[in-house]
């Protein structure tokens, strides 16, 4: 056992060393190329040393910024960030100052925005423009043009996740670039070259085509959840959802409802609504192992839990999480979805069977630990929302028909939110106390569409 643990630690240590080496190699390669161009442009040695020190300071501040605010970014995204940024900055330097409107800088800012984070993309873009400007003798037009156009690109490229908006994004960004260039030309009192707006329009349009067209490549290499992948996962034709519909129809309909609740709540608190929706759709796929042991699939038939001990019942319930993670990995679901499945019960107690066990007259003092999910607790807002939505929907579904009204549902949502908070199930997530009422109201909005007062039509006599 100890040997296996040691081997596992050594393997992780080796992987971390390889990852660190790749990151350092990418940065060093970029620095070598930058120095080559400074020598090539006949910059004196004192200026080269000074510029190198400034570049190292900027990169150090950038690295510290990522460490402070983006600790949760997994290694594959960090590697993508470094490789994309350094390679495109290097390509821009090779293109040189005579054709800076053809630099592929915008490709980098859009790729980082759509795959990782918009704010990080903007910071990286500003740093890239500064570094390139320190290496090449570029005119003021370079800075005035690329800084605002790059920021706009990072802000609007997210819309391209929906295919129907790709043309809108391409048109808006390209048109903005052309108009902004013309305004800069007139502001600086320069002569307008009619070919340059055409070059700018082509560069921006081509950059967007490259970004959107290359998404499947990044999905395969860096395991990103691309828009195409999201569409596949939401489709009812997905194998796991098909299995749920056939083998565990009650669980499938429960998951659909949890998905609606979670998506509305995610929008209310400003987290990833699409990822939350998909995570909720798949959160209970582990119930495919023993669907008949879950009440939503029993349809009023005999309850198999009546034939086994409460401890065994609890283990069957608890194991659906681990089996769900296993199925998700087998079907190559994104890592983020796998973690949502793993965390959606946290370390909650399977209370019904724990209390049932302690009612046995067998003299055994049953421990809570045996009846608790292994965790981990929700580590993201998305995961915490799915936990709350799952509990609320299960509780509401268990109510008698006459009790399913908005006042009672509102009470249930408050009770469950308070319970999860008091049990410290939400402690590991960045969800704030002030966001719980927003989530509760989002849940109510969904239920309002189902259980609102209806007009009673007169019967024909």
- Give the tens place of pLDDT for each residue, 82-135: 888 888 888 888 887 667 788 888 898 888 888 888 899 999 999 989 888 888
Residue pLDDT, tens place only, 50-94: 878 888 888 888 888 888 888 777 777 888 888 888 888 888 888
Strands (E), 256-308: none
CB 112 within 8 A of CB 81: yes
Query: pLDDT at position 1, please?
Result: 38
Query: pLDDT at position 2, please?
Result: 42
CB contact burial 197-215 (16+ within 10 A = b; e otherwise) = beebbebbebbbeebbeeb
Specify the pTM.
Answer: 0.70
Distance CA(78)–CA(71), nearest Å, equals 10
Based on its alpha-carbon atoms, the radius of gyration of the chain, rounded to whole angstroms, reads: 28
CA nearest 352: which of 425, 295, 298, 397?
A: 295
Query: pLDDT at position 60, please?
Result: 86
Domains of the chain, first to last: 2-216 (no CATH), 227-451 (1.10.3210)
CB 152 within 8 A of CB 184: no
CB 378 within 8 A of CB 420: no
Under 8 Å CB-to-CB from 149, ≥6 apart: which residues?
Answer: 106, 173, 176, 177, 180, 204
Hey, what are 123's tokens?
């910071």
What string of DSSP letters covers 267-295? HHHTS-HHHHHHHHHHTTGGGGSSGGGSG
Query: pLDDT at position 257, please?
Result: 96
Distance CA(292)–CA(288), nearest Å, equals 9
What string of DSSP letters covers 225-245? --HHHHHHHHSTTSHHHHHHH
Sign of the CA dihedral with 85 first, then 90, 95, and 100 last: positive
Under 8 Å CB-to-CB from 371, ≥6 apart: which residues?
Answer: 311, 314, 318, 349, 350, 351, 353, 354, 357
- 3-class secondary-structure state, position 349: strand
Phi first, then psi: give them for residue 46, nearest 5 degrees.
-65, -40
Residues of the chain scoring pLDDT < 50: 1-8, 12, 461
Query: pLDDT at position 281, please?
Result: 96
Query: pLDDT at position 435, please?
Result: 92
Query: pLDDT at position 8, please?
Result: 45
Distance CA(189)–CA(318), nearest Å, equals 72
């Amino acid at each position: 056992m100890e040997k296996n643990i040691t081997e596992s630690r050594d393997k992780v240590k080796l992987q971390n060393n390889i990852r660190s080496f790749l990151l350092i190699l990418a940065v060093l390669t970029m620095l070598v190329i930058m120095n080559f161009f400074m020598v090539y442009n006949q910059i004196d040695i004192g200026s080269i040393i000074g510029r190198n020190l400034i570049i190292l300071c900027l990169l150090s501040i950038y690295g510290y910024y990522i460490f402070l605010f983006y600790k949760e970014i997994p290694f594959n995204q960090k590697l993508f960030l470094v490789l994309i940024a350094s390679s495109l900055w290097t390509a821009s330097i090779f293109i040189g100052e005579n054709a800076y409107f053809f630099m592929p800088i915008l490709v980098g800012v859009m790729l980082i925005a759509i795959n990782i984070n918009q704010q990080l993309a903007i910071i990286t873009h500003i740093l890239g423009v500064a570094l390139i400007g320190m290496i090449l003798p570029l005119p003021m037009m370079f800075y005035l043009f690329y800084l605002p156009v790059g920021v706009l690109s990072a802000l609007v490229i997210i819309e391209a996740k929906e295919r129907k908006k790709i043309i809108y994004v391409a048109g808006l960004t390209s048109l903005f670039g052309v108009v902004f260039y013309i305004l800069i030309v007139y502001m600086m009192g320069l002569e307008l070259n009619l070919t340059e707006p055409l070059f700018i329009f082509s560069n921006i349009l081509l950059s967007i085509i490259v970004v959107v067209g290359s998404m499947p490549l990044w999905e395969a290499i860096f395991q990103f959840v691309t828009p195409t992948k999201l569409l596949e996962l939401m489709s009812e034709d997905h194998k796991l959802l098909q299995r749920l519909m056939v083998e565990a129809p009650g669980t499938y309909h429960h998951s659909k409802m949890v998905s609606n609740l979670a998506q509305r709540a995610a929008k209310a608190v400003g987290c990833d609504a699409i990822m939350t929706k998909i995570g909720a759709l798949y959160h209970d796929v582990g119930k495919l192992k023993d669907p008949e042991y879950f009440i939503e699939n029993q349809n009023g038939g005999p309850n198999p839990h009546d034939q086994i001990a409460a401890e065994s019942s609890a283990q069957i319930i608890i194991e659906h999480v681990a089996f769900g993670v296993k199925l998700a990995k087998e079907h190559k679901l994104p890592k983020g979805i796998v973690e949502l499945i793993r965390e959606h019960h946290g370390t909650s107690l399977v209370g019904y069977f724990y209390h049932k066990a302690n009612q046995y007259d067998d003299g055994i003092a049953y421990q809570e630990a045996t009846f608790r999910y292994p965790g981990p607790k929700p580590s993201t807002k998305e995961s915490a929302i799915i936990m709350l939505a799952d509990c609320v929907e299960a509780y509401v579904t268990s109510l008698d028909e006459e009790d399913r009204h908005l006042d009672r549902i509102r009470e249930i949502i408050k009770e469950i939110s308070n319970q999860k908070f008091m049990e410290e199930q939400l402690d590991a997530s960045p969800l704030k106390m002030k966001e719980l009422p927003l989530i509760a109201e989002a849940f109510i909005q969904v239920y309002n569409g189902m259980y609102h007062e209806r007009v009673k039509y007169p019967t024909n006599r």
